[in-house]
Amino acid sequence: MKRKIIKIDLEKCNGCGACASACHEGAIGMVNGKAVLLREDFCDGLGDCLPACPTQAISFEERDAAPYDQEAVQAAQQKKAGDTQKPACSCPGTRVQRMRTVPLDGGAAPTSAAVSSLAQWPCQIKLVPVNAPYLDDADLLIAADCAAYAFGDFHHRFMRGRITLIGCPKLDAGDYAEKLTQIFRAHRIGSVTVARMEVP
């Protein structure tokens, strides 16, 4: 059938991923650093992705395309919501969850060492799912896992009000560039703070 559907200009696309985040139906995804229409039948033709694109790489065209399949979209969204709650490995402690903490600019600082400012679980970079909902509009703290042991006020000074991602660049296999790139492309990130350990 002929209908209005989005068209992506790959030359204009800068790979920011804002359109993929704005597409509630999941029709757009990132492939090799560029936005791609993954499923014609997921594109409703309403254009939530258009204003999100900073380079005007997305436009409409009228052409033969599969009809919009709302039932398939809803089934995919339910599956994605279920997958978000699945552990990243066999450990039940990797279940994605948010925790109550003291906000960055509101409330008193923790007065007891027993008060944690950890805002989410999991927090290890290699275990955090790229599509974890707590990453949306997050202020990130990316920290070496030993930094908290070296800095006594780490929770209050660095973690409070932020989503914490920790890792050990020396001991973890590989680097974090690919995982962090996926996270930055899939979510709007408010700010990034990096804490690293200075060896005594």
* Whole-structure pTM value: 0.49
Note the pLDDT tens digit of each residue in 129-144.
888 888 999 999 999 9
103: pLDDT strictly greater than 80: no
Average pLDDT over the chain, rounded to an integer:
83
Start-to-end CA distance of the chain, whole Å, equals 68
pLDDT of residue 81: 67
Q: What share of the chain is helix, strand, coil (3-state, %, to 5)?
A: 25, 25, 50
**Token digits for 34?**
């560029």
Collapsed DSSP state (helix, strand, coil) of residue 105 = coil
Query: Binning pLDDT at 50, 70 and 90, where does residue 84 land?
Result: very low
The average pLDDT across 148-174 equals 87
**Token digits for 83?**
């997958």
